[in-house]
Amino acid sequence: MIKKTVSGVQEALKGVQNGMTFMLGGFGLCGIPENAISELVRLGITDITCISNNAGVDDFGLGLLLQQHQIKKMISSYVGENDEFERQMLSGELEVELTPQGTLAEKCRAAQAGFPAFYTPAGYGTEVADGKETREFNGKMYVLEEAFKADFAFVKAWKGDEAGNLIFKGTARNFNPCMCGAAKITVAEVEELLPAGSLDPNEIHIPGIFVQRIFQGQRYEKRIEQRTVRQKN
């Protein structure tokens, strides 16, 4: 049985360098690879291009990399609650490529499947389509979007086994699965790492063939982006 486990986050991120392109899974603050992000901050890697639905909040998630000005370019669909992201974008300190959310997911999935490009109607007639090939199909206009090219994909799963098979939980399935196998190296951090064969095959969301390195993460904060509570009566 192939074992893809590594000792921890430091070994998992072996080979990361300045100027690389990284995919980072998660939706809001749900299912983000917290350990991998913290290690990137510790390593001080700079000039990063990050592909992620959003950039966390000011002091958590990708916001930690933004605080240290380690990110050169963000490819995302949502600026959201991160004031520093917005400030750097408006000041010109950070290059931002805003992408329709479905297109962002499909550009990951195309890379995962080995497709170089695809046509989508999203963004036609807007700035999103500037400089891109367009074509009509059955009376409707489409934009040609190229698949992403990334050096590493960092994803976070609920459970995984030593062979790299992964199970995600809830909203963490939004972007993590389509980023697996979409980069040269996929690194998966999991809350629970089990021996190969321990997972029910019917529950596995991503087979291990899409994962090169897997480790059990530590100390997940799982912060809530917008906490809303009811007032006491």
Average the pLDDT over 179-198 and give the result.
Answer: 97
Would residue 13 count as lying in a domain?
yes
Asked if 176 contacts 168 with a C-beta cutoff of 8 angstroms, the reply is yes
Q: What is the pLDDT of residue 208?
A: 96
Would residue 173 count as lying in a domain?
yes
- Percent of the chain's residues with pLDDT above 90: 81
Per-residue pLDDT at 1 exceeds 90: no
Would residue 143 count as lying in a domain?
no
Would residue 24 count as lying in a domain?
yes
Would residue 139 count as lying in a domain?
no
Would residue 222 count as lying in a domain?
no
Per-residue pLDDT at 226 exceeds 80: no
DSSP 173: G
* 124-134: pLDDT as tens digits: 999 999 999 99
Average the pLDDT over 51-71 and give the result.
Answer: 91
Residues linked to residue 146 through DSSP beta bridges, in sequence order = 117
Would residue 135 count as lying in a domain?
no
Nearest in space to 101 (alpha carbons), one of 48, 153, 21, 28: 28
Q: How confident is the model at residue 55 (pLDDT cuts 50, 70, 90)?
A: confident
d(CA 192, CA 76): 29
Q: pLDDT averaged over the chain?
A: 94
Q: What is the pLDDT of residue 228?
A: 80
Q: How confident is the model at residue 220 (pLDDT cuts 50, 70, 90)?
A: confident
Q: What is the pLDDT of residue 212?
A: 97
Residue 104 belongs to a domain with what CATH number?
3.40.1080.10
Q: What is the pLDDT of residue 232?
A: 80
* 65-87: pLDDT as tens digits: 999 999 999 999 987 778 888 89
Average the pLDDT over 200-207 and give the result.
Answer: 96
Average the pLDDT over 170-177 and give the result.
Answer: 93
d(CA 187, CA 180): 8
Q: What is the pLDDT of residue 198?
A: 95
Question: Which domain range does residue 66 map to?
Answer: 9-113+149-216
Would residue 73 count as lying in a domain?
yes
Number of domains in the chain: 1
